[in-house]
Structure 1
């Protein structure tokens, strides 16, 4: 294995220096054969990421409103599924992708408190909520077939941080969670563009190969992780913690063991600056330009060494204090 990892590193270095402009996405595709069996999630740290330039991503039809839109409580998470008119199904191509990937579903990962929600960690710390936008390759007839193959599944990750005001874009989901309190409950809601829940990007993201496990199998996944965060307020976050599992207990999500990055590549794709210390951007997406974030009140030099970690620690401390106030 050590020899294989050394070979992968040497190959990457060689392509970076001589062939990167010809077929950079082929680097990612080739690494999948060796690295897609490695477990996920991992800790994302920009200092451990290799910079790479890839073609732009092409996002198609994410702004289209679906014909049907439903929320499902599986007893483990909340899933969003939708159906579009013919020719309007959202899809993505370009970047590290080989071919086109169709949107499949969205689901969420939250914790038992505001400080342990995300599956991936950032600089060793968890964030309040992690959203997975799942896609499957058009090489396969459906997602069930695609999960069996390397390159079959793409998961785009968005971290949700806390801000002072509620997020109006995710409000239609949050306000209907009480309708799916019980496991296996399903509700159809008024359709809206799924792009309201996240944002498109072609630069400043991370990508790596890994896998997810079920009880009896492991499925390879190509992960793409946005550096720009989405957001919600504390009350919106707590609504996820009212959902019940199959034993009619509040869904409790034990943090997953973060896997080692050893033997795999984490890429920082199309960085806009030559150097940054911040793993995630603390600047809100432009759609939140008129909203206040919790971080607006914090006097932190995010560009300084350790600035991102300090930011996360301050947010965690503030959330713990708020939880104590509510409990009191």
Structure 2
């Protein structure tokens, strides 16, 4: 259940929260201020992102189409996940102008990911979601040219840095674990998705805002472990500032989502102008090495 809000206080909170609109991936104050202007940063004017930040036209940009025939087999150490089963103090669901984010708040014992292509520990920070208006698009990454209706990205930062903001522009600063989804009506649904979707009806009625859940659940429910069947490559953030310091880990075996769960994501931005497709187009691979673990 959601924490109860006084209706006036609730509306006032959402109106004022737009003044500190979250722009995921931004750390520089001056850059953040410019990107927070609706007409500058939008999925409707992606071709102008370069004018906002020149790094968005770099040679190691993400997302990409992963051609499985061109991947290179590799053996990495097994992943070690620490504290993923610990419940956070609380979990915030943040609806930005163009993004949805899940941000668990921990007092200590942050989830830590190590192993695979990660030679250093990475601290879990937040989860972002990308979807489209139909079932044949929505994911940012593609596998052999195929897009998926939903992609969930678990964003981590190098624990050797003091903060996520510092890691954004630092070498090997970010690691993102990506999960792709297919529609499957035979499944009973995803428990974690059902939990985070409880406030969607409320969030759909406002342009931007944040809800704090009063039920805590471990982030492992939303981001299950990956033991194999993944590809990894060096890329970038898929939002400005498009920093090219991201180690991507993409699980190429899709998870299942029901049509009802998928439609709840699409209805979240169904008010006013709406948000139809919140994903970045595919970028050039530029002969990057893409490694596969089977």
Q: Residue 185 of structure 1: which of 209, 214, 220 is its match? A: 209
- Which whole-Å CA distance do the structure 2 matches of 1:146 and 1:216 have between them? 13
Where relative contact order (Cα < 8 A, 6+ residues apart) is larger, the structure is: 2
Quick one: structure 1 residues 195 and 215, their matched pair in 2 at CA, closer, same or farther if it must change by over 3 Å? Answer: closer
Q: CA RMSD in A?
A: 2.0
Q: Kindly indicate whether residue 148 of structure 2 is the aligned counterpart of residue 127 of structure 1.
A: yes
TM-score for the superposition, normalised by structure 1: 0.67
Aligned runs of 1:141-156 on 2, under 5 Å? 141-156=162-177
Q: Which moved more, 1:53-62 or 1:256-265?
A: 256-265
Residue 219 (structure 1) shift: 4.1
Note if contact 1:37-1:211 (Cα within 8 Å) is conserved in structure 2: no
- Which whole-Å CA distance do the structure 2 matches of 1:59 and 1:262 have between them? 32
Report Cα offsets for 1:228-255 as digits up to 9, x if no partner.
322210111011112239x942112265
Q: Residue 158 of structure 1: which of 179, 189, 203 is its match? A: 179
SS of 1:99's equivalent?
Answer: strand
- Which whole-Å CA distance do the structure 2 matches of 1:255 and 1:144 have between them? 22
**Which 5+ residue runs of structure 1 have no aligned equivalent?**
1-35, 272-328
* Larger Rg over CA atoms: 1
- Which whole-Å CA distance do the structure 1 matches of 2:116 and 2:227 have between them? 8
Quick one: structure 1 residues 155 and 213, their matched pair in 2 at CA, closer, same or farther if it must change by over 3 Å? Answer: closer
Partner of 1:251: 275
Tell me how many residue pairs correspond in the alignment: 233
TM-score for the superposition, normalised by structure 2: 0.74
Report Cα offsets for 1:97-155 as digits up to 9, x if no partner.
12110000001000011221101111101101000000000121111110102300000
Higher percent of residues as helix: 1
Q: Kindly indicate whether residue 90 of structure 2 is the aligned counterpart of residue 65 of structure 1.
A: no
Q: Kindly indicate whether residue 112 of structure 2 is the aligned counterpart of residue 91 of structure 1.
A: yes
